[in-house]
Amino acid sequence: MSYCLNSGCRKPYNPSGNTFCQSCGAKLLLSDRYRAIKPIGQGGFGKTFLAVDEYKPTLPKCVIKQFFPQNSASAEKAAELFRREAIRLDELGQHPQIPELMAHFQQGDQQYLVQEFIDGQNLEQELVANGTFTENQIQELLWDLLPVLEFVHERQVIHRDIKPENIIRRNSITLPDDGGEIKGQLVLVDFGASKVITESSLGNTGTMIGSAGYVASEQLAGKASPASDLYSLGVTCIYLLTQVAPFELFDVVEGKWVWRQYLQSNISEDLGRVIDQLLAPNINERYQFVREVLKELESVKYQKSFAGSGSQTGSNNPSLLTKILGGIPQIIKGRIMQEFGQTESALAAYDRAINIRPNNYDAWYKKAEVCYQLKRYESAIFCYEKTVKLQPNHWQGWRSLGVLFYQFNRYEKSVECYFKSLDIQSEQPMVWLWLSLAIKKSGDEQKAQMCLYKARQCLPNSRVETAEILWKAWEKLIQ
């Protein structure tokens, strides 16, 4: 099936093989490559269509956004926002939890934006289908989304429209041989309202953009900051916990939030305190940066992990020696626990090492390995990304990211990570082999064969060693 993008077409549906619309004669392929299948949404600035990329042999799905403002009076502003979204996606789409920009162009007199298709439901749809979220689900949401927000803010961008509809969960992946199910990552979408942070913009009044009920007071005044996104995330949490509209969760007479009155299940005081600070109406009383929220959540986790143990080793106050050594004793403890199969204890030890020295890339890498072992793949990706951010020459971290992205069918990202690993350490036959498979999945048979040849060149002369390497490569793939 093809769908005509001419807004004046009366019969937009066409057979899939058509080049031109049989009703109005308009060209059906955008940029001779992208074919719209059906409309999937419409907003104030444009229409959204599900499409396929006919340039690639696997015909992967994608999303076409067509600039089509409903209000002609605001057309110039809408065009600016549309161009802005393309720029933001191009800058931020390297993150696995932000849609990748595939193209931005003008055809005829209209602008188009083509981006990665995120196959899944948004959190508003999840709420309608499954009911209110539990405390564990909210904690998972915060742990999954806060690092994405940190990535955005570090690149001097404020999203300005965080709400359940703009958070999509990728569909879960079922592993073969009863290997269980990988819960899909959360993806932050719709950067049309985003704003670049500059020294002057933080103090100046700009345009108020955002969704009613989710917008902080300073953003209403046109002075959005990173803390404004954290406020919107807090409102998202209480809406998911209560399924009650945000306006009804705030007592305008008392000037305070009353969301606890609408809870359908109890939550801990610790999480409640974190949410309250996210929701603080006064920006000076609110978290200013993502790292502050993550630190608070980590502290809550530690308190739960060591509550009731009565052991001094479980204290959150590390000794002077441990501080001097930068968490090294905890890493050693983690490795010992890992060797004995005590994965949760190992995880707690690595967490403490990170708490003592957050830039300890070895602790992040070890934690990532345990998360992968426990099939907590989203957490593993986050920790591996932390590893290579702190130590860009960590070839093992890049290699492991390549494996994980391959598992999630993100072959282009997998290829990128494998190449970064090989740039640092080129003699890795296993990685060359995995790279050839990822490139083949992306549709480039010739390059895949070249990588396979390189893998053969890197193999040792010993048949025993070669067999061991190939076995390990295959074992990793089937995991």
Catalytic residues: 161
For 56, which DSSP code?
S
**Can you tell me whether residue 335 is helix, strand or coil?**
helix
Strand runs labelled E in 1-45: 2-3, 13-14, 29-30, 34-42
Residue 113, φ and ψ in degrees, nearest 5:
-130, 130
Cα angle value 224/225/231 (rounded, 5°) = 85
Which of 108, 109, 112 lies closest to 36 in space, CA to CA?
112
Tokens of residue 132, six digits: 């209110």
Residue 221 near residue 228, CB atoms below 8 Å: no
94: three-class secondary structure by DSSP = coil
- Round to whole Å and give the CA distance between 65 and 80: 14
Contact predicate 365/401, CB 8 Å: no
Per-position DSSP letters for 147-185, written without gaps between them:
HHHHHHHHTTEE----SGGGEEEEPPEEPTTT--EEPPP
Helix, strand or coil for residue 34? strand
- Quote the radius of gyration of the chain (alpha carbons, Å): 25
Residue whose C-alpha is closest to residue 11's, from 26, 27, 22: 22
> Which tokens in the block code for residue 17?
């093989």
- Angle, to 10 degrees, between the axis of helix 395-407 and the axis of helix 377-390? 150
Tally of CB atoms within 10 A around 388 = 22
DSSP-derived 3-state class of residue 298:
helix
